[in-house]
Chain A
Amino acid sequence: MATEVLMPALSPTMEEGTLAKWLVKEGDAVKSGQIIAEIETDKATMEFEAVDEGTIGKLLIAEGTAGVKVNTPIAVLVEEGESADATPAPAAQPQGEKQPQPAEGSEGKAVDEPLVSSPGAPVPGKRDRSPDWPEGTQMKTMTVREALREAMAEEMRADKTVFLMGEEVGEYQGAYKISQGLLDEFGAKRVVDTPITEHGFAGMAVGAAFAGLRPIVEFMTFNFAMQAIDQIINSAAKTLYMSGGQMGCPIVFRGPNGAAARVGAQHSQDYAAWYAQIPGLKVVMPYSAADAKGLLKTAIRDPNPVIFLENEILYGRSFEVPVLEDFAIPFGKARIWREGSDLTIVSFGIGMTYALEAADKLAAEGISAEVIDLRTLRPIDYDTVIASVKKTNRCITVEEGWPVGSIGNHIAATIMQQAFDWLDAPVLNLTGKDVPMPYAANLEKHALVTTAEVVEAAKSVCYR
């Protein structure tokens, strides 16, 4: 049966080319792999090989023809004894030029669905306002540090595949003492001291997760996770998708994030917005000890890679934590720390310190602020934020990270898209200044967001 030879795509972007030269003529026998033509693209002249064997029945496009579209028949190959006019069978398509097809499921979108795509958002309308623990639960006071340690210890007791890996997590008892005592309890097999090799051990942990373990990787600080960010994003976050759902990566990357005190530009960065951008990752940034514990337990149980952003300054702060056999907090559920009616303050992580302080100051001046802690940045609980803004009609956001492409920017955009008609003032974003962190004490204070700035912004959106 005759076969059509089609104009090939010789690069992923090629749409047409010039048939520069035929190296065969009609009646020639060709073997597969034989070079039959030279084709010029905008980038190079390429040799074109025959795929099938046969005899050139007809050359359909003359040498020197420019603008030949990819997939145009350029010759007919016939089998022995066949006439050159035999009807060609549809040719096998050359590689790399699959026609774009409409994405599956793109039809029939619910009309009331928001136009924006929400990163990992929980299903709209399923706003979870249940309390994090039953009323009357016994509470105990605990630091964030202890809460994190307890969460890891409990999950390690419950699941033998959970292990901790990182620099100084074992014998040194943790650079910030989060893992204190874990080596004693779980041994060196499960509390693994690594060399200073972030890219290497992060990659190994991802591999171990592929193979069925549940690693917790501690970065001494998230600044050093930049050494490993390729493995976090390219390997951990994308493999489930790239493997068509076969191979997931249940792993937690945790450690202190953001500015500590006076440690300068290379050691003071907030990565919240960076990681929140990545589909395939979940991103958690707790403020209180109860959230640190409940969310870390959820993170360890989650079948996906979770970025768990802690804060050195919060490690030593004490909060009430419920005393429960099994206490976990679901992702995508914001916490309303304080109800209010005049404006909404959205924050997370250490930003909550400023948000709550500001709310106190505002209350003293007769302004009632509702303070929402997002707790997880992927997924984000948009519903709680939108519902609050529909009530207060004003919103400001508070975070320590840089202003461009901040979480606050994203919240503001979402509010504009989903609650524009309810807004009485533009949403303001309070962030760290758009500068590397300076070392000098006076400059550092100004580089960070301050409570005074939050108060001022709150008043300005209330036109006070």
Chain B
Amino acid sequence: MATRKSPEQSNASREELLHYYREMLLIRRFEEKAGQLYGMGLIGGFCHLYIGQEAVVVGLEAAAKEGDKRITSYRDHGHMLACGMDAKGVMAELTGREGGYSKGKGGSMHMFSKEKHFYGGHGIVGAQVPLGAGLAFADRYLGNDNVTFAYFGDGAANQGQVYEAYNMAKLWSLPVIFVIENNQYAMGTSVKRSTKSPSLWERGAAYGIKGEAVDGMDVLAVKAAGEKAVAACRAGQGPYILEMMTYRYRGHSMSDPAKYRTREEVQRMRDEKDAIEHVRDLLIQGNLATDDDLKAIDKDIKAVVNEAADFAKESPEPALEELWTDIYA
């Protein structure tokens, strides 16, 4: 804790900072609970936690407006909570119950909400990137000013279809923001072991796409970069690449032996870079909130998460007929 750098002053208001604090904390507590339910056997299969990366989605959502779309990989719980999907419905999908966003048929990796313009939840590494560009294609075609956030990992950044999507997105000036969540590892492969590119966002230059690297552990920096990218896209100057430098604290999924990095490395990131602690410091040291204010928020969040977990346990399994529905429209 002592190693934390004291935060620079920010111009963000108390309300804004409290909002970030609350949103990021919701994701973290939700994920901790999901990990717990997994351990109890209530969640099965693959479950990829977002702990550590909360500032990325919370900062970018702050730059979005109603109508904007988002699409991501299997590490998707944070994205869903940040775009306003209900914690109960997400958790119940994790437990495979009727009350889940996909009626229990999708699971952790495959969830969607048309209402919140959340297009999944995709299990195949890299597949969501052209899909995201396609969402943007539709918006441009329909003539609105919506923007799509297409999130993918540093590992996914090596899939060929990403570059096919880059090329077409630029060719057709699509309003899509390619958000690379560079958490430094793809399962057990560090970025250094998968590419000699010095940075991932710079690859866009080959296609004429602008971009930048962003401190993805600093929600304010994320939001500022997001606003810039969104403005470019809305002005018809898309696409845009944001490489979010971030870190996942937990294993790749629940069954990761995690021998590819040291405990010290993880601990150092937590101590020095934690996104939630950063906002907490801004609030407390800037005299914008008291410990008690934040404790009250913690308590609220805990209640929300517990309620979600209870719902996810109590919601019944889907009816057997559901096996045969939703195959064709």
A residues lining the B interface (CB < 8 Å): 167-168, 171-172, 175, 193, 195-200, 223-224, 226-227, 260-267, 433-436, 438-443, 446-447
Q: Digit string of B116-127 for contact with A (CB within 8 Å is 1, else 0)?
A: 000000111110
Partner of A439 from the list B104, B126, B194, B259 (CB cut-off 8 Å) is B104
Residues of B with C-beta under 8 A to A267: 45-46, 109, 123
A261, B124: Cα distance in complex, Å? 17
Partner of B122 from the list A193, A266, A446 (CB cut-off 8 Å) is A266
**27 A/B residue pairs, CB under 8 Å, sorted by A:** A168-B187, A168-B188, A175-B187, A196-B156, A196-B194, A197-B160, A224-B124, A227-B124, A260-B45, A262-B96, A263-B45, A263-B109, A264-B107, A264-B108, A264-B123, A266-B123, A266-B124, A267-B45, A267-B109, A433-B323, A434-B327, A439-B44, A439-B93, A439-B102, A439-B107, A440-B318, A447-B323
- Is A193's CB under 8 angstroms from B123's CB? no
B residues lining the A interface (CB < 8 Å): 44-46, 93, 96-97, 102-110, 122-126, 155-156, 158-160, 186-189, 193-195, 259-260, 317-318, 320, 322-324, 327
- Is B158's CB under 8 angstroms from A167's CB? no
**Smallest Cβ distance from A445 to chain B, in angstroms?**
10
Other A-B pairs beyond A200-B160, A441-B96, A443-B323, 16, CB < 8 Å: A171-B188, A195-B189, A196-B125, A199-B159, A260-B45, A263-B45, A264-B107, A265-B106, A265-B110, A266-B109, A267-B123, A434-B327, A438-B104, A438-B318, A440-B97, A443-B318
- Is A439's CB under 8 angstroms from B160's CB? no
Q: In this complex, what residue of B is CB-closest to A175?
A: B187
- Is A262's CB under 8 angstroms from B195's CB? no
Residues of B with C-beta under 8 A to A264: 45-46, 106-110, 123
Interface of B is mostly: loop
Residues of A with C-beta under 8 A to B193: 171, 193
Q: In this complex, what residue of B is CB-closest to A203?
A: B160
Residues of A with C-beta under 8 A to B189: 167-168, 171-172, 193, 195-196
- Is B159's CB under 8 angstroms from A440's CB? no
**Smallest Cβ distance from B32 to chain A, in angstroms?**
21
Counting from the closest, the 8 A-B pairs by CB-CB distance are: A439-B107, A262-B44, A262-B45, A440-B104, A440-B96, A172-B188, A266-B123, A195-B158
A193, A227, A264 interface centre (most CB from chain B within 10 Å):
A264
**Smallest Cβ distance from B110 to chain A, in angstroms?**
6
Residues of B with C-beta under 8 A to A199: 159-160
Q: In this complex, what residue of B is CB-closest to A260?
A: B45
- Is A438's CB under 8 angstroms from B260's CB? no
Residues of A with C-beta under 8 A to B105: 265, 438-440, 443
Partner of A436 from the list B93, B318, B327 (CB cut-off 8 Å) is B327
A436, B44: Cα distance in complex, Å? 17
B45, B156, B193, B318 interface centre (most CB from chain A within 10 Å):
B45
